[in-house]
Structure formats: structure tokens, C-alpha cells
Amino acid sequence: MIPELLSFCCVSYNHEKYIESCIKSIWNNDYKNIEIFVLDDGSEDNSVNVLNGLKSISPCPMTVISQKNTGCIGANYNKLLKMANGEFISIISCDDALIENTVNQKVQMMLDDKNIAYICNSRITGIDENGNETNGVPKMKLDSYKNPGSQDILELDFNDFHSYFTQGSVYRRDVILAFGGFDEDMICDDIIFRTKLSRYMLEHPELQFKVLHSPAVYYRLHSSNVSRNSLRQLSGIIEYLDRYWNDMAPPDILYKWLDFYAASADSKEDFLNLFENNNYASKILEKKNYRDWFLNNKEFKSMGILYKRFGIPYILCWEKYKKQNSRTLVIRLFNIKIFKYTFQL
């Protein structure tokens, strides 16, 4: 670890149009003791050539890694975090950009107080594909908190599926390594990172964080945003709740997301697969109104819905499904269907 060095960890996928803006926003910011690591996850456009061109003129050390596409954002960031040399870490996607003069203040605050684990922002500025500011980014509830704690961050992520943007925040690298960074076997990334960090900080009450009530990142809204893939987002959120909040009843916002997707989904089969392929389904369906909604919705009642699962998750499970005029029993071994029996009512 190099004291006072800030390592920027950047991930790119088909961001050719935006990469230059992102990298130059890092070069031009107000803290100059930096290094940059960029991982391109198998882009199909000219991203790698653009990155290598920028590397050749970079005023700071810059490393470009090109790999076959994995689609695993968490694993990609973890790879960069392990390569980084800095005392401090900042994360950004190459379709976004830093707002001017938003880095130095954070680093200086963290140099002055070794107990500050990270500093984030409670606001963000949205931009469109052409870099023009837009109102498409919702306001964060964290902005109304005067002195939030780690428990507040956890509750915001659980109840709203969002607390703050990890992008543009500055973290201590040793803290990230201590809690393990991102989960590489899960779809979601930022919310997992924040949850693990907040729980780690609750176990280490000497650690603090600060919130700046100003924006630090231009978040670009475009047609290829990962967050616009509703089915992927829902699948990831259910995974997150199953792993980190399995002892809690599902939050109300989950049902709003499910209702929205059910009404707009092109494939009803894909929607039902959200329930078939995860262990959190029984908790979701414990809410009687929602269970009845499935059974009474004429589009879904004939397709069937999981109503009970028991056994050892991912090893040996018995699953029961309802259809309008039948019941089905499925037995899975290591998540492979080995037996299915359906009887008519």
C-alpha cells in the first residue's frame, strides 16, 4: 500500500462513446496523487483501442486490462481492487464521469482522521448520452439525514434498495479488503458492497463515515444501462434479500417492483422463473395478498406458482407448485431436476 495514493478502479463494457470523458474527468480532478486501473469486460466496440490511446498520453500511471466478457461486475471490481496500490480507492463505471473538484476534500478529510472509512455523497447529477444534464435520477433519501450511521445505510438499502452511489465515493483500501469487497457469485454489486461494508463497520464502531450533501458524479442515463434490465435487477435484489436479510419479511418496495415487472414483462414465464429458481420465494408468498394476487390473476394462475419448498437449499429440495387444476411435486438434487410428478384436482 502506498500512503496518500488514490487508486481509481474503472470498469468498461461497450462504453466507447463515453470513456474519454470518464478518464479525463479523473485526470482533471483536484487530487493528483493517483493511479488508474481500467478493466474492459469483453467490449464489442472500440473501447479497448480508446483506452490504450488514453493510456499512452496519461499524466498518471494507467493500466488497461482486457478480458473475455464475464458480465460479473463484482468480480471485475474485485480484480482491480487487488491490483490497486493506493491507501484510498474510488470506483467508477466508464460511462459516467466525476464532477470537477470533488476528490481532494475527501482525501484530505480521511488523511486528517484515520477512523474515517469512507466518504460518500448524498446527491448525484444525471446526464444524457450527449452529456447534457437531465432530471432522470431520483433524489436520495440520505440527503435528508443530518448524522446518519451505518445502521441507517443498511435500512435505506433494505427498505429502498438504495442509500448512496458507490461511484465517486472514496474508501480506505484496507477496510475494503477486510470485509471482502464484492460478492462474485451474485448479480447485484453496489448494494452488496454497501451492505457488507456497513455490517463490518457496525462490528468496528471506531470506524466512521461522512456524507457530503453535494453531487460528485455525472451518472449517465442511456439505453444500455445495466439498471434498465428490470428482470436482472429483480433477480439480483431477490438474491440479495435471500443472502443478507433472510430473517426479515420482504420489504414493501419489493412488491412494488414485482407488480411493475409483472404488468410490463414481455415474458410471463421469465417472471415466474424469479420464484422457481430462488429460495426466497416462500417468504415473498407468505404475504397473503400477494399469494392471492398470483392465484387470482388469470394470466398467471394457469401457469402455476411455487408455494412451498423444503429440504437443503441447492443440495436436496422438494418443491410444490400450484396450478389452477393441478399440483406438482419437483425434487431437485444439486439444483438439477431429478423427479417431477403432477396430479390433477
Question: Does the pLDDT at position 121 exceed 80?
Answer: yes
CA dist 261 and 255 (Å) reads 10
Query: In which band, very low, low, confident or very high, does the pLDDT at 18 lie, cut at 50, 70 and 90?
Result: very high
DSSP assignment letter at 167? B
pLDDT of residue 307: 65
pTM for the complete prediction?
Answer: 0.84
Q: What is the pLDDT of residues 182-234, one digit of tens each?
A: 999 998 999 999 999 999 999 999 999 999 999 999 999 876 665 557 788 88
Query: In which band, very low, low, confident or very high, does the pLDDT at 318 lie, cut at 50, 70 and 90?
Result: confident
Given CA atoms 153, 158, 162, 168 in this order, what sign does their dihedral have?
Answer: positive
Q: The cell 466478457 sits on which residue?
A: 69
Give me the chain's average pLDDT, please.
89
Query: In which band, very low, low, confident or very high, does the pLDDT at 261 lie, cut at 50, 70 and 90?
Result: confident
pLDDT of residue 22: 97
DSSP sequence for 78-145: HHHHHH--EEEEEEEETTSEEPTT-SHHHHHHHHH-TTEEEEEEEEEEEE-TTS-EES-SPPPGGGG-
